[in-house]
Each structure stands twice: as C-alpha cells, then as structure tokens.
Amino acid sequence: MKKEEVYKKIVLGILFVFPLLVYLFFASGKNNFAKLPILSKKIMELPEKSIGNSTQLNGHISILGYWGGSLQNKKAEALNLNEKIYKRFYQFDDFQFVFLVDSDKKKEVEELKTSLRQGVGTDLSRWNFVYVEKKEIKSHFLSLNISIDLDEDGSTPYVFIIDKNRSLRGRNDDEDVVTLYGYDARSVAQINKKMIDDVKVILAEYRLALKIYNNEREK
C-alpha cells in the first residue's frame, strides 16, 4: 500500500474518531450534561450603589465569592481558581468571576490582581471585584439560602455557580456531602474533581439552549 494511501486513511480515521472521543470525554462527567440542579432561586442582584460597580449577575454565568475583609488570606484560593477555572473558561460568552469585598480593600485587591498577572499575564477583564459594606455582603450571602456560614470578616473559602437567572447551581446527589452548594477554593482536588465538571455542564446547557433557539429561528 502506498504511503499516501496510508496517510489518507490515518487522517480519515482521526477525523472520524476525534469527535467521538470528545463526546465521550464530556459525557463521562458525573452530570452527563443533564442540567446542573438548581439549589436556590432569586439570588439577590448585586448592590447598584456599590462603589464603582457596573457588574451584574443577571444575564451572566458567574462564579461568585465572598471575600469580605480577609484579602490577605485569599492569594492561594485566587491562584487555584485562576489556574483551574478562569483560564479554562473565561473566553465563553457571559462568563465572569465576581467577588464581594469590603469597601476599604481596594489596595489589597490591586495587589492580588498583580499576583494573578505575574508570569503569564492573565487577562483579568472578567475578574470583577464589587466593593460593598460588610452588612451588604452578609445580606447578599443570606439570599443564597444555604447551610454555609460566613466568618466574622464576611468571608468564606467557598465559591458558587450562579446562572443567568440568578439561581444557585450545584449538586443534590454528591457522594460526599449530598448537597454541594459551593466549591472549596482551597482544595485543588475538589476543583479538579467536581467544579471543573460542573462548570462544563452549565456552559454546555446554555450552548445547547442557544443552538436550539437559533435552529428554531431558521425554520
């Protein structure tokens, strides 16, 4: 058999097998691209009067965190989320990171952003820091209606997936805690095993919905 024919068959084989492998890869996740369960609805919108804020949850797929007044302890969490989640997904439409922090922590936020940019020059355009008073952080957190508490600084290591309708998404059949409301940003293992998969699921859900919508318009 000629080399050209062998190469041709190899290429055709790759073109046939690769899409199948991609499908199996995504379908192998725990949720199998079913919708990520809704755990709470009507999460409060971000305060309109927060300092310099134009960020909103409505209409976005958000990774939401509450860092309050403890920015000095958040570098490791930020790096974990940046490397494992943000860099992987930030180019998807309407995807964003949102963190509520105390209104007097602008300097610490800028130092944190500098750390995130170092080395590879991460595009931080979808890292959003919302500066609010501590009581507003607590009030917003309570709207999640979950069994996780903020510490005395208005902070938690957990981050949450909020959909475009301001509903909290997570797992209601998790093997470890039954209901998984949020993801521990301190744990690379949990981010790798659970959070990456769940973000893939919700992004796929919206891509599928958009595809169906576009197909209906074309009819």
**Counting beta carbons within 10 angstroms of the beta carbon of residue 173, is it exposed (0 to 12), middle (13 to 18) or buried (19 or more)?**
exposed
Q: Mean pLDDT, to the nearest integer, of 139-158?
A: 95
Q: What is the pLDDT of residues 5-64, one digit of tens each?
A: 656 656 655 655 555 445 445 444 444 446 899 999 999 999 875 555 678 999 999 999
What pLDDT was estimated at residue 29? 45
| Cα–Cα distance, 215 to 219 (Å, whole number) | 7
Residue 95 φ then ψ, to 5°: -90, 140
What pLDDT was estimated at residue 28? 46
Tell me if 121 sits within 8 A of 87, measured CB to CB: no
What pLDDT was estimated at residue 122? 78
What pLDDT was estimated at residue 32? 44
What pLDDT was estimated at residue 20? 44
What pLDDT was estimated at residue 216? 58
Q: What is the pLDDT of residues 72-128, one digit of tens each?
A: 889 999 999 999 999 999 999 899 999 999 999 999 999 999 988 886 667 899 999
What pLDDT was estimated at residue 190? 96
For residue 30, give every residue at least 6 positions away whose Cβ sits within 8 Å of its Cβ, in sequence order, or none.
Answer: 171, 194, 197
Rg (CA), the chain: 20
pTM of the model: 0.81
